[in-house]
Structure 1
């Protein structure tokens, strides 16, 4: 396979430039203008950050991408899907509040925020996964699939399960509905935390398989009837229903690749990753530890696999920052992400993405 082109610019600026101008120049050079945006709906997939976390991408970067899309006559919107866990992004109302709290408003970014899987995380599209080993139909947030063009804008950082959170993670896990996220995290069926259940029966009303019954006003899920769709998780107001969370990290990484395949297959896509504030864990946490390496720069490509590998190579070429998790585990050789998360192996997901035809690990780095 021919090498993919990955474009790069560092974080240095001059009196006549700034980081937003550099980002705009980067994505233009990388070929974003070759996409037909005229009157097209354009989903810009981004992580809005959990309340309390300060390592997420600044909204200024989102504005630069949105402004470029509008200059190309597109109709951009920022989007993400709801989370499985308790926090500031588990339903669309809280999620939008969090986005606004962290600066992602229409006034600061120049475009609207749409939570792709709807109010309760149940507004999804079943998308066939060509060549999927674990997933035959991915459950993707409807607004993501309704868009004509898809752009990923990723904060590249460490991750406690996938090794790092790059373009594949942002797309695959990020675009999954709540049920989709359950499918990636779990090989089993959801269960009820009895102490949190109040017997409201909302979950039973959403179950198409009559798998939920009640004993002493507490819900129980019959796994022989349960289809594992995860809708009960989305509608539970008390967060009393949880996924099994029993999938191995390697299989989860491969499922993320398969969900990515569902999102990007057969439509115009473009991918941007910023290797800045490289925290050791995901932006989904309500706080962030110190960055593990110095800021590297901004990358862009039509190939999300090559983009992830280029970003990982760039991080691994950096020295550790003092008083960081990486420095605590430092030695002169080895992968930075594996040192911070010794139970993770990001290369498994990359290899599966190549098998699925999403992209290649071979890249040409072009400095802008």
Structure 2
């Protein structure tokens, strides 16, 4: 194992409390876990560390709470590291309105590829049918370490969004982001299907192989973003609270379709995403939380078939990105029965 890597693949903390006390709250238990693990020891004393956070849009209120980011930043308070929070340049313009500022986070907030999306590192790609080049955002490409803080949620393009999605689309230039979205077959085609179908989310699965192409491009992009990092200097925190059906980039919030689950923490984004995805699929399903056009068909037990809720919700296989990311890294698959 690489020196400095966390000894377990994934650490999980349930949201549920077992006592009415501050010590029992999820945030306090997360701080206690960080005290035990001391993940800051994996980084050099003067390393520059980017924190990739999805700050949402103007009308989002279910994104990751600043307190969880602050808990990570505080681990470096006595060190000479420079930590900074980054997200897409347009989202950052209004981030302060939702509490994402230096006062709350303990670290400044910067546009990930500069204020006009031109601070980039263009990398040639010769091993993928999806890319000729990938333009990695400069604030990540030139960092010494990366902390990925992701809101666990559904996603209309790939069924599930968390760490791999936050890296593969969130850490690249708008040009690369747009290119990846080409593979989901949306835009005018997508809108035509939505308007014509009785069950739009199921109809969207027709002809696009349940999101395989988008997810595979996403995974290759994420692999490229992480290529220059020591794996020990990549930390992934998945926050499975307010788990709603849509990506936070839509700038909206909606009711959660499962109860709050908790936190998942580790070095490898595929491991952390796998644990998060399994937990979402296994949690009690709140069918009434979904709008009528998104509700999946229920089985005899009164909810979607086991392990199928996200796939049925958006018509996309949520395992594709995890499996492809692992394949690209030469790791065994996590969920080989999912096709």
TM-score w.r.t. length of structure 1: 0.73
Distance 1:161 1:134 in 2: 16
Equivalent residue number for residue 255 of structure 2:
290
Count of residues in Structure 1 that have an aligned counterpart in Structure 2: 294
1:35 CA drift (Å)? 0.9
- Check conservation: 2:10, 2:264, Cα contact below 8 A: yes
Q: Is 1:8 aligned with 2:4?
A: no
Gaps of 5+ in 2: 1-6, 188-206
- Match among 39, 42, 67 for residue 35 of structure 1: 42
Gaps of 5+ in 1: 83-88, 90-94, 192-245, 364-368
Distance 1:4 1:173 in 2: 27
The change in CA–CA distance for 1:302 and 1:281 in structure 2 (over 3 A counts) is same
Equivalent residue number for residue 350 of structure 1:
322
- Bigger CA radius of gyration: 1
Equivalent residue number for residue 97 of structure 1:
93
SS at 1:307 equivalent: helix
Equivalent residue number for residue 244 of structure 2:
279
Note the alpha carbon deviations across 1:77-112, whole angstroms, 9 max, x for none. Answer: 100124xxxxxx2xxxxx333110010111111110
The change in CA–CA distance for 1:116 and 1:314 in structure 2 (over 3 A counts) is same
Q: Is 1:250 aligned with 2:218?
A: no
Distance 1:121 1:80 in 2: 11
Q: CA RMSD in A?
A: 2.8
Equivalent residue number for residue 159 of structure 2:
163
- Match among 171, 178, 190 for residue 174 of structure 2: 178
- Match among 148, 158, 174 for residue 144 of structure 2: 148
SS at 1:25 equivalent: helix
Distance 1:29 1:313 in 2: 25
- Name whichever of 22-31 and 106-115 sits farther off: 22-31
Q: Is 1:336 aligned with 2:309?
A: yes
1:51 CA drift (Å)? 0.8
- Check conservation: 1:116, 1:143, Cα contact below 8 A: yes
Q: Is 1:69 aligned with 2:76?
A: yes
The change in CA–CA distance for 1:322 and 1:337 in structure 2 (over 3 A counts) is closer
The change in CA–CA distance for 1:128 and 1:355 in structure 2 (over 3 A counts) is farther
